[in-house]
Amino acid sequence: MIEYFLFPYQKKSLFPILRGLIKEQYQMSTLGFAGMDARTQTLLHAAFAAAVDRLQLDLELCPNANADFVVVDMDCLYGPLSWLQLSNSGRTVIGYTAASRSQTHFHLPRDFDDAVLDALLAELAILPKPSVIATTTPPRTTPAPPPVSNHFSQTSSVGLDSMTLAQWLASDRLRGLLRLGDEDDTHIILDMETGRYYGPPTLKPLIPLFEQALHLTDFQVLDEQSALDKAGAEQQLARLVWFATLLRGRGRLLPQHDKNAHYRLLKWFQTEREYPKHFRIASALLKAPATLPEIARMAMASEAEVADFLNACLAIGTVEPVQPMSESPSEPSRNGLLGGLRRH
């Protein structure tokens, strides 16, 4: 079996470290407003505040555009200008418009209701509040495994338990051997104790599992022996995290990553054959730290493809941002051997 992702850790300690990396990608988010009149902002703020309270999301609402996600009134005179400015600064824009579609990253129709707003927030992949996760997580220090019927907490509401697959992996609420997907259709088996999964050798058939909101009841608890007898190829769970984050960015760096930073590949890993340009992108990253546009030019790939690749590799710790070393006139140049040693 090919090891798709290589970490400098022992296998037994891999998954706790991996879970921490996932959580960094899903830290508390912020949402602001721009390009709209005061009345519209007041109405939208109230609607989002009610949804955050209803779903108990870890989302802070801001009165301005200094946020991860920004709602822009595209039907207002200043809306399109605000959208252009925010896009250039790397913000993720939600277009509030009466039109059936928008050029922004996400779309909020003008006649939205609670269901539409809840679906939008689920699409933004925002985690529940930590206190909610803590109160609904089953205790970990039980002397014997709980019965199958009590394997998950059933006390929380449907809204709280609706998350993406990557968020479930980050939430520390899944236990044991679980199947996701219909047994007669495309599915995966998660082994949460070893940080492994079993399923198809390729990733693209799994896209439907990543695009839907999942509930606790979607994960079926399995008997170890009977499940593994029919399991697919064994893979590292990090591969699923990588793929989930690859899909999430939609061609743009996630808000927590600096679009002007230099990035480098920490260690070579086997790229996916389904994404042939990733080999060239990884090769460019291995040469020297570079910005997103520089990587795209060296790899002869689009900036959207590079952004998705960086998001995915940053999520599992195989790529890191590097601050360029500034030179002052009073100091000698550090571009020589010692400078190279300091960078590595």
Looking at the domain assignment, is residue 213 inside a domain?
yes
Structure tokens at 11: 């296998």
Where does a domain end: 239, 265, 294? 239
Co-location of 11 and 38 in the same domain:
no
272 and 195 together in one domain? no
Q: Report how far apart, in Å, the C-alpha atoms of 221 and of each of 6, 179, 180 are.
A: 29, 7, 9
- Least confident range from 1-10, 91-100, 174-183, 228-237: namely 1-10
Residue 64 covered by a domain? yes
Condensed to tens digits (0 to 9), the pLDDT of residues 190-242 reads 888 888 888 888 888 888 888 888 888 889 888 776 667 677 778 888 888 89
The total of structural domains in the chain comes to 3
Q: Are residues 34 and 104 in the same domain?
A: yes
Query: Residue 215's closest CA among 160, 278, 148, 297?
Result: 160
Query: Mind listing the pLDDT tens digit for each residue in 156-194?
Result: 333 446 788 877 877 777 888 888 887 777 888 888 888
Higher pLDDT, 65 or 333: 65
- Rounded CA-CA distance 136/195 in Å is 22
Task: State the CATH number of the domain containing residue 285.
Answer: 1.10.10
Under DSSP, the state recorded for 202 is S
Q: Whole-prediction pTM value?
A: 0.54
Classify strands 233-236 and 319-322 as parallel, antiparallel or unpaired.
unpaired
User: Does 19 lie in the same domain as 40?
Assistant: no
Cβ neighbors of 229 (< 8 A, separation 6 or more) are: none
18 and 40 in a single domain? The answer is no
CA dihedral sign, ordered 220, 221, 227, 231: positive
Host H or E run for residue 116: helix 114-123
- Do 61 and 16 share a domain, yes or no? no
Answer whether residue 306 is part of any domain.
yes
Q: Which residues form the domain of 181?
A: 1-26+160-239
Pick from 43-47, 55-59, 159-163, 229-233: least confident: 159-163
Q: Are 21 and 44 in the same domain? A: no
Dihedral over Cα of 111, 116, 118, 120: its sign: negative
Do both 87 and 169 map to the same domain? no
Predicted confidence band of residue 295 (pLDDT cuts 50, 70, 90): very high
Model confidence at 12, pLDDT cuts 50, 70, 90, reads very low
- C-beta of residue 24 within 8 angstroms of C-beta of residue 64: no
CATH of the domain at 44: 3.40.50.2300
As a residue count, the chain comes to 344
Name the residue type at position 75: D
Among the candidates 102, 123, 144, a domain finishes at 123
Q: In what order do the strands lie in the sheet with 188-191?
A: 219-221, 177-180, 188-191, 196-199, 233-236
| 94 and 71 part of one domain | yes
Phi, psi of 60 (to 5 degrees): -105, 130
Of the three residues 187, 218, 239, the one that is the final residue of a domain is 239
- 340/344 Cα distance (integer angstroms): 6
One domain, residues 106 and 49: yes
Buried b (16+ CB within 10 A) or exposed e, 77-96: eebbebbebbbeeebbbbbb
Using pLDDT thresholds of 50, 70 and 90, give the confidence band for residue 300. Answer: very high
Averaged pLDDT score across all residues of the chain: 77
User: Residue 29 is inside which H or E element, if any?
Assistant: strand 29-34
Residue 152 placed within a domain: no
Classify residue 144: in a domain, yes or no. no
My answer on whether 58 and 111 are in the same domain is: yes
